[in-house]
Structures are given as structure tokens and as C-alpha cells.
Amino acid sequence: MSTNSIVLLVILAVLVLGILYVIGLFNSLVARRNEIANAFAQVEVQLKRRYDLIPNLVATAKGYLTHERETLEAVIAARNNALAGLKAAQAQPGDARNMAQLSLADGVLSSAMGRLNVTLEAYPELQALQAMQQLSEEISSTENKVTFARQVFNDAVLTYNNLKQSFPAVLFAARFGHAADATPLEFPDTASIQQAPQVSF
């Protein structure tokens, strides 16, 4: 075998390995982006459950809180705003603007729920209702699930960003449609998410 043939075979082997790497990278980027979408779907399920429990809580409290109409309306308005933020984020999980909108809306909701919880403390007869106790337990349980689902989503975002920012992947990622980094979901008041809003009884 001549030297030219050996050089040609080496170049061909390097070219084939390069093409296989690029194909593998493309597939990995797609898979990691799909993992982000899947992880966000779990966040969505838990946040939607949380948002669906709030009207039940307000409806149960409404009869007792006739003088607290403004507080109840603020909770429902914040809940509806958070639900709209969730729908926008679902369209593009990991998009910086959508994650910021959802984070802000959920923070406003957490604040409104905090004010409602303070208000509820003044009504011991309402706190004693079994329906309120069950709702409180469901909300607490859901908050824990939100925290877990959010962590899984943020882990998927980190894995995707690490892959696309590593060398030599960084040279190809933008060409494959992966220019922007995915954004994790952070809530402004992480203490209120990690420690579920409680309805005291």
C-alpha cells in the first residue's frame, strides 16, 4: 500500500469520525431539548394542580370572609395571572422571557396567598372546617411536588446548557438551531415555594 493510499485512508477515517460526531451531537442536542420539554410538562402539571386548588380554597373561605372580599379577589386575580404565565411558558419551556414571566406571576400569587393565610388566622371557625384542612394538606403536598418537578426541570436545563456550551459542541450548536441557552425556572421568593404556604388551623 502506498503512502498516498494510507494518507487518503486516514483522512477518510477522520472525515467519517467527524461526520459521526456531528450527527451524534445533533441528536444529543435534540434529546436534551426534549428532556427540557418533558420536565417542564411535569412542572406544568403540578403548578396547574396548585392553581386549580386555589379557587376551591377561596370558595370555601368566601362565606366566612365577607369583609375580606378584596383579599379574595386579589388571590383569584393572581392565580389567573399565574395560570396565563404557565400557558405562555408551556409554549417554549426554557425561554428566558417565558420563565421570567412565570416566575414573577407565581411570586405575586405566593404573596397573595400569604396575605390570605394571615387573614384566615383571624377566623378559627373557618380553620376548624374539615374541607379547609383537606385543602391545606393538598396545597402543602402540591407545593412539595412543585419543588421536586422544578428541580428536575432545572437539572434538564443545566444538562442541555452544559452540552451546548462545551467544546467542540459550541461550534455547531447555533448552526443546529440551539443558539440560545435554556433558562431555569426560579421563583422570586424561594422560601415560600420550599416551605408551602400554610393555612393555619
Position 49 scores a pLDDT of 95
Q: Is 28 contained in some domain?
A: yes
Which SS3 state, helix, strand or coil, does residue 134 take? helix
Q: Is 200 contained in some domain?
A: no
Return d(Cα 195, Cα 118) in angstroms, integer.
Answer: 16
Count of domains forming the chain: 1
Residues 29-45: what's their mean pLDDT?
Answer: 96
Q: Is 147 contained in some domain?
A: yes
Return d(Cα 158, Cα 154) in angstroms, integer.
Answer: 6
Q: Is 199 contained in some domain?
A: no
Higher-pLDDT residue of 82, 132: 82
Q: Kindly tell me if the per-residue pLDDT of 195 is higher than 60.
A: no
Q: What is the DSSP string of 146-195?
A: HHHHHHHHHHHHHHHHHHHHSTTHHHHTGGGT--SPP-----S-HHHHHS
Position 105 scores a pLDDT of 94
What pTM, to 2 d.p., does this model score? Answer: 0.82
- Contact between 65 and 123 (Cβ < 8 Å): yes
Which SS3 state, helix, strand or coil, does residue 142 take? helix
Q: In this predicted model, what pLDDT tens digit does every residue of 78-89 receive, in sequence order?
A: 999 999 999 999
The residue segments making up the domain with residue 54 are 3-194
Give the domain CATH number at 163: 1.20.1440.20
